[in-house]
Structure 1
Amino acid sequence: MDVLSTVFSFQDYGELLALVQNSIWAGAVLGIVGGLIGPFVVARNMPFAVHGISELSFAGASAALLFGVNVVTGSLLGSVVAALLIGLLGSKARDRNSIIAVLMPFGLGLGILCLALYKGRAANKFGLLTGQIVSVDNPQLTSLIVVSAIVVVTLLVIWRPLMFASVDPVVAAAAGVPVRTLAIVFMLALGLATAVSVQIVGALLVLSLLVTPAAAALRLTSHPVVVPVLSTVFAVVSVVGGILLALGGGLPISPYVTTISFVIWVVCRIVGGRKDRRGRDRIADREQHDGGAPRLQTETDASTDATRREGVTA
């Protein structure tokens, strides 16, 4: 019971709710950003890149915390550097994964070093890894909205060619689409989205916002319009729901966000699996019906021809 009372305790909930209005707005904005950019992350097979960028974002935020600089600025700088390195050096999937595998431990080690040297509050250290719900003040909310708006506008401008390049980069390049330029622009947008997401869900669990909702949506449909809509809804529900649940307990926000996101993914996977089975059954029935009809017709025709031949002979 003590554990449950810690995880779910809603004493004085109304008063606490008034303290995290900025976090709720920030969570909704991040849900929109994560929901829109997530399908491209999955389509381009780059979840590993999100984790790599988040580690350097964590390193930049930790360094900013150590030197007394704005944490958001440090996080953005680390993310942009990581995104540029991955975008410029990782043109091929094999090279990209190797670069990310090199950057991840470096960023995590650098971040841990900065936090070890930091003599301030332990909550600030822990929050960079697992997220915080009461740390979003008005200036941070404003900067988060501005950065998120830049990401959303960028995605809307390059949406169609980026979708083409994500689905079939070879054909897109042959058709004159600037695939490499789009890749770099997308990586920068992904870096900005990762940086602002780290402020809420932490560096270690940012995948639950930028990847899991899109993966869940893709289990239900492949429609190019429905997927980002569902992904956005799932992301907003995960983040805002996680904030509202974390407010009642004494735990960080990230366990609640990741749990909600995971449950949504499991439900979508079950529903999608049943949908796929029904589709396969319909296809099998159709093939069986279409394949059987000609054989029946052929046997009937053969019987008719034999009868006619016997009649002619007689």
Structure 2
Amino acid sequence: MTGGFANYAELLALVHNSLVAGAVLGLVGGVVGVFVLSRDLAFAVHGISELSFAGAAAALLLSVNVAIGSIVGSLVAAVLIGVLGARGRDRSSIIGVLMPFGLGLGVLFLALYKGRASNKFGLLTGQIVAVDDPQLGWLVGTAVVVLAALVLVWRPLTFASIDPDVAAARGIPVRALSVVFTLALGLSVAMAVQVVGALLVLSLLITPAAAAARITASPVLMPVLSVLFAVVSSVGGILLALGGSIPISPYVTTISFVIYLVCRAIGVLQPRVSAPSTVSAS
């Protein structure tokens, strides 16, 4: 056996930053994903990722920090969606406009870029050894900002996500919270694009939370499970991709999808298991 898993220990030392980045992204993605589901913003994640991709591609073309370009693109999309898309119908149409625009810009910038093809491909599907020390610093700093913002608005944001009309009637600034969360979502998407690429961010920002929602409705347990599933998917994907020549994203998406299928099966079986005890209790 040559290459791949034969020299796995040596290769493992090369991806220390990527493993840390994967764990940080799993933590942020798992927490943010819970609110994405409750606020029905799955489509927004994909829309933001397209402009994040465009920003990263522009940064690559201009030879500046790709992380900064990705963050700028995500924040521009987040502001547009948060301010102009207060209502669900408006939000969907705005995202539908932003997605092809962002993708078109990104493709244009990559076509103009004359550097290595792997850099272009990595923006779409992720790169296993692409996380250097400065990029890791940006990722960790962004994660701290996102998590701090969510902690500060956790309770009112949860209320506004479950029943925005009642929350607004009780004086909670629903629109302001929407903008704050959309900005946090934009930063989270920018982080994900740098690790798994622009095409597959849903695997870390949606699938883990969707899996957790299949087996629990607890407001405490659901974020915990979502974070666990996201970290297992991201770090596990990196560890598996290290031994082969396939990009990281197929491994991440496969692990997260398998977790979702298992949780879905458990969710289907749970009522059947609990039914006898309910009957006997009555």
Tell me how far 1:139 sits from its aligned partner.
0.8
CA distance in 2, matches of 1:122, 1:218: 39
Amino acid at match of 1:165: A
CA distance in 1, matches of 2:46, 2:275: 35
Amino acid at match of 2:84: L
Superposed CA offset, 1:279-298 (max 9, x none)? 56777x58xx97xxxxxxxx
Amino acid at match of 2:45: V
CA distance in 2, matches of 1:87, 1:278: 43
Select which of 160, 171, 175 maps to 1:176. 171
CA distance in 1, matches of 2:276, 2:117: 57
SS at match of 2:250: helix
Say whether 1:230 aligns with 2:225: yes
Amino acid at match of 1:69: V
Superposed CA offset, 1:120-171 (max 9, x none)? 0000000000001101111111111000000001111100000000000011
Select which of 248, 254, 257 maps to 1:259. 254
Q: Which residue matches 2:85?
A: 90
CA distance in 2, matches of 1:206, 1:84: 19
CA distance in 1, matches of 2:277, 2:77: 47
Q: Which residue matches 1:276?
A: 271
Q: Deviation above 2 Å: which 4+ runs of structure 1? A: 276-283
Q: Which moved more, 1:245-254 or 1:64-73?
A: 64-73
Say whether 1:56 aligns with 2:48: no
5+ residue gaps in structure 2? none
CA distance in 2, matches of 1:274, 1:176: 41
Q: Which residue matches 2:207?
A: 212
SS at match of 2:47: helix
Q: Which residue matches 2:13?
A: 18
CA distance in 2, matches of 1:11, 1:203: 31
Superposed CA offset, 1:245-296 (max 9, x none)? 000010100000000000000000000111134456777x58xx97xxxxxx
5+ residue gaps in structure 1? 291-314
CA distance in 2, matches of 1:277, 1:125: 49
- The aligned runs of 1:64-79 (5 Å cut-off) are 64-79=59-74
Tell me how far 1:9 sits from its aligned partner.
3.8
Give the % identical residues: 66
CA distance in 1, matches of 2:69, 2:272: 48
CA distance in 2, matches of 1:203, 1:192: 13
Superposed CA offset, 1:66-110 (max 9, x none)? 111211111000000000000001011111011001100100011
SS at match of 1:12: helix
Amino acid at match of 2:180: V
Amino acid at match of 2:243: G
SS at match of 2:182: helix
CA distance in 2, matches of 1:126, 1:250: 13
Q: CA RMSD in A?
A: 1.7
Q: Indicate how the Cα distance of structure 1 residues 98 and 282 shifts in structure 2: closer, same or farther if over 3 A, else same.
A: farther
Q: Which residue matches 1:137?
A: 132
SS at match of 2:247: coil
Amino acid at match of 2:234: V
Please report the TM-score for the alignment, with normalisation by the length of structure 2: 0.97
Amino acid at match of 1:152: L
Alignment length, in residue pairs? 282
SS at match of 1:116: helix
SS at match of 1:199: helix
Please report the TM-score for the alignment, with normalisation by the length of structure 1: 0.87
SS at match of 1:79: helix
CA distance in 1, matches of 2:276, 2:151: 38
- The aligned runs of 1:157-196 (5 Å cut-off) are 157-196=152-191
Amino acid at match of 1:262: F
Amino acid at match of 2:98: L
Select which of 235, 238, 242 maps to 2:237. 242
Q: Which residue matches 2:106?
A: 111
